[in-house]
Amino acid sequence: MALLLTLWLAAVQANANESPLIAVASSLRQVWPALMHEYRELDAATPRVTFGSSGNLARQILQGAPFDLFLSADDTYPQWLIENGVTDHTPVTYAYGLLAWVTQPDSTLAVWLNTTEKTPDALPAQLTRLSIANPAFAPYGIAARELLDAYPESANLAFTLGENAVQALQFALSGASDGGIVPLSLVSNAARAQLPPLQFKRIDPTRHNPLVHTMILLTEKSGGEKALFDFLLSETAQRILAQNGFEATR
C-alpha cells in the first residue's frame, strides 16, 4: 500500500510539473476563468498562473523566475526581455486593452460621469484623489496618466497607487479614493457579479497610447505553453476577450 501511495504521489507531481507556468498581467484576472473553461475542453493541461503587474512579472523573469509564457499588458516588457537575452522568441499581440473610470455609486465622480453621454472636458472640482495602477510597473497606470495629462485639473490630484490593476480597483471601490481608472476588463460583464455596487464608464481609447497586450514564449519544455499561446489567438479565445473588456486582434 505504501508503495502504491508513493507511486501515485510521484505521478501527481509529474503531471503538475508538466503544466506550464504562466506569468499573466492582472488585467486578465477576471476573464481568465472563462478562457480556461474553453481551454480545458481541448483536453489541455491546466496551466499554473501567477498574476501581477507586467513590470513586476518581467523583472521576476529577468531574475530567473521559471515562467514558460509571459502575457504582458503591453509590448514594451516582452521586448525588454528579448533585449536582455531572456528569450529569442517573437512576441505576438493577443488583445488590445481598454480603460474605464470606476467609482462607488452616488459619488462625486459618479455624478460627473453621468452628466453627459461623453466624458466631460473638465474634471469635477470636488475630485481630490484617484486610484490607478502604479505607472512604474503597470501599463494601465501609464495609460491612465496619459489620459489625465489632458486635464489641467489633474495637477492638483493626489493618487493612491495600486501595485497592479486589481489592487487599483480595490482602492477605488474601498473609499481609499474618490474613484479610479482601471482596465475595463476588471469591471465588465461577469466581473461585476463579484464586485460591490459600482459606477463605471468606458474611456475612449484614442485618449491614450494603445495598450497592446503582447505575449512571448520563454521556453518550450512541455508543449503546453505553445498550446496555450496558440489557443489565445484562436477565434474562441478572441471572442471571450472581446466580450470581457478587450478589443480582439481578429
Domain CATH for 73:
3.40.190.10
Per-residue pLDDT for 18 more than 80? no
Query: Is residue 38 located within the same domain as residue 64?
Result: yes
- pLDDT value, residue 17: 53
Residue 6 lies in a domain: no
Per-residue pLDDT for 14 more than 70? no
Total count of domains within the chain: 2
Residue 159 lies in a domain: yes
- The phi-psi region of residue 245 (left if phi > 0; otherwise alpha if psi is between -120 and 50; otherwise beta) is left
Query: Is residue 194 located within the same domain as residue 240?
Result: no
Q: How confident is the model at residue 99 (pLDDT cuts 50, 70, 90)?
A: very high
- pLDDT value, residue 119: 63
- pLDDT value, residue 130: 97
Query: Is residue 68 located within the same domain as residue 90?
Result: yes
Residue 9 lies in a domain: no
Residue 108 lies in a domain: yes
- pLDDT value, residue 180: 97
Q: What is the pLDDT of residues 49-82, one digit of tens each?
A: 999 999 999 999 999 999 999 999 999 999 999 9
Query: Is residue 32 located within the same domain as residue 64?
Result: yes
Q: Which domain holds residue 193?
A: 97-207
Q: What is the pLDDT of residues 141-199, one digit of tens each?
A: 999 999 999 999 899 999 999 999 999 999 999 989 999 999 999 998 878 888 999 99
Per-residue pLDDT for 9 more than 70? no
Q: How confident is the model at residue 45 (pLDDT cuts 50, 70, 90)?
A: confident
Residue 150 lies in a domain: yes
Query: Is residue 199 located within the same domain as residue 215?
Result: no
Residue 44 CB contacts under 8 Å (≥ 6 apart), including other chains: 224, 227, 228, 231
| Rounded average pLDDT over 219-245 | 94
Query: Is residue 201 located within the same domain as residue 101?
Result: yes
Query: Is residue 26 located within the same domain as residue 68?
Result: yes
Q: Which segments of the chain are extended strands (E)?
A: 21-25, 48-52, 69-71, 92-97, 99-103, 129-133, 158-162, 180-183, 199-202, 211-217, 246-247
Decide: residue 158, CB within 10 A, 0-12 exposed, 13-18 middle, 19+ buried.
exposed
Query: Is residue 103 located within the same domain as residue 62?
Result: no
Query: Is residue 140 located within the same domain as residue 85?
Result: no
Query: Is residue 106 located within the same domain as residue 119?
Result: yes
Q: How confident is the model at residue 4 (pLDDT cuts 50, 70, 90)?
A: very low
Q: What's the one-letter identity of residue 191? A: A
Residue 83 lies in a domain: yes
Average pLDDT of the chain, as a whole number? 90
Stated pTM of the model: 0.90
Residue 8 lies in a domain: no
Q: What distance in Å separates the CA atoms of residue 23 and residue 162, rounded to the nearest whole number?
A: 18
Decide: residue 107, CB within 10 A, 0-12 exposed, 13-18 middle, 19+ buried.
buried
